[in-house]
Amino acid sequence: MRILILGGDGYLGWAQSLYLSSKGHDIFIFDNLMRRHFDLEHNFSSLLPIATLQERVKAWKEVSGRQIQFRIGDTTDYEAIAAVFREFQPEAVVHFAEQRSAPYSMIDRKHAVFTQVNNVVGTLNVLYAIKEFTPACHLVKLGTMGEYGTPNIDIEEGFIEIHHKGRSDILPYPKQPNSFYHLSKVHDSHNIMFCCKIWGIRSTDLNQGIVYGFETDETVLDPRLATRMDYDQVYGTALNRFCIQASVDYPLTVYGQGQQTRGYINLRDAIRCIELAIASPAQEGEYRVFNQMTEQFSLLELAEMVVKQAQEVGLHARMVHVANPRVEAEEHYYNAAHTRLIDLGLEPHLLSGSVLQSLINLAITQREHIDPELIVPTVNWRTTKNEVVHTNDGVSE
């Protein structure tokens, strides 16, 4: 198939591109390199060094004999994305091209606005491009389990049957997003569902849990094919951060009580889920939702697992509870359904000691490149940077 991967230079997008290319698909990457620009602006970097997109594509051709096409461009530029649809005529589009960090979206007004414009407008442009140039194309969109929040009932896969005053209906599951980033994902979901209804396009919305891992069968073939491994407090996940902290004798920072529970999925499973969704596409006019996760853990459970694994290799790992910079329930019910991808054939790789050990070993080998200051949370949900506000009469306050 001809598969367009939006955001194909990112952590998931690059691993996905290699995986689908290895299966014989014709891959075209469209990416604005925003994630790399953020690193340059803030002196962040992936713990695992990554090559330029040009170097990556060249290395893949040398290793596999397969060509991946790419173009640098922005989904918020309709003419740029429309040109790719006209020329490539994708049969499936995998949409990773969004600002993906909740802390980033909560830094200040500027970052919140960028997140919502980039994500919501970019997705609207993709929807219009599908309508205009490839109406039979299947959109596979990466959502997030964070759209649901932490309700006091079981989380279903996208929809829930409601009984109210003697009547029943199947409705979109209620959303309780916890950041401007998660809000942008909710807006995306609503826009996609609406476009499926009015234009008859087909889409699979994958509400993904937190992804861990940094290796796939393809990325290990050549160092130039490596994907990202982020550990900073803006883009790094809690599990990554814990493994890095353990490796440099820094206490594992558990936010608040540590009972915050979320869904998780291995990188290898995440890219397999996309393949399964593409292989069994949504029908014309269908908007469907899969919860893309395989297991769930609390922060405290993750920290305890990392401490145990780190101590087994002689590290002096321990944890500490710190003030929670986020506004969230620190103790709550959480039980999310995730059967639809299993039904399609997913065979999960669950979080194990060997997986944790690989993350810790990477941190140890790259220890000299770790900047502990990047781990400390500085983005607070309750406050933002000082800004100059202009009133209608032109007076600053």
Question: How confident is the model over 288-300, as pLDDT tens digits?
Answer: 999 999 999 999 9
**pLDDT band at residue 385 using 50, 70 and 90 as cut-offs:** low
The neighbouring-strand residues paired with 322 are: 255
CATH of domain 2-211+265-293: 3.40.50.720
Helix (H) or strand (E) holding 211: strand 210-212
pTM listed for this prediction: 0.95
| Closest residue by Cα to residue 64 from 220, 185, 201 | 220
**pLDDT band at residue 394 using 50, 70 and 90 as cut-offs:** very low
Q: Would strands 159-164 and 69-72 be described as parallel, antiparallel, or unpaired? A: unpaired
Query: Which pLDDT value is given to residue 41?
Result: 87
Mean pLDDT (the chain, rounded): 95
Helix (H) or strand (E) holding 164: strand 159-164
Query: Which pLDDT value is given to residue 7?
Result: 98
Q: To the nearest whole percent, how much of the chain has pLDDT over 90?
A: 93
**pLDDT band at residue 384 using 50, 70 and 90 as cut-offs:** low
Mean pLDDT of 362-375: 93
Mean pLDDT of 82-94: 98
| Domain segments of the chain as ranges | 2-211+265-293
Question: Given a cut of 70, is residue 386 above it in pLDDT?
Answer: no
Mean pLDDT of 120-145: 98
**pLDDT band at residue 388 using 50, 70 and 90 as cut-offs:** very low
CA distances from 203 to 131, 160, 168, 346, 349 (A): 12, 19, 25, 19, 26
Q: Are 173 and 155 in contact (CB under 8 A)?
A: yes
Which residues are tagged catalytic?
144, 181, 185
Question: Given a cut of 90, is residue 92 above it in pLDDT?
Answer: yes
**pLDDT band at residue 66 using 50, 70 and 90 as cut-offs:** very high
Mean pLDDT of 7-36: 98
**pLDDT band at residue 126 using 50, 70 and 90 as cut-offs:** very high
Q: Which residues contact 302 (CB under 8 A, 6 or more apart)?
A: 238, 239, 242
Q: What share of the chain is helix, strand, coil (3-state, %, to 5)?
A: 40, 20, 40
**pLDDT band at residue 387 using 50, 70 and 90 as cut-offs:** very low
The CA distance from 331 to 329, in Å, is 6
Cβ burial 203-221 (10 Å sphere, 16+ → b, else e) = bbbbbbbbbbbbbbebbeb
Lowest mean pLDDT segment, chosen from 68-82, 155-169, 263-277, 367-381: 367-381
Query: Which pLDDT value is given to residue 392?
Result: 33
Query: Which pLDDT value is given to residue 268?
Result: 98
Q: Would strands 138-144 and 167-172 be described as parallel, antiparallel, or unpaired? A: unpaired
Query: Which pLDDT value is given to residue 119?
Result: 98
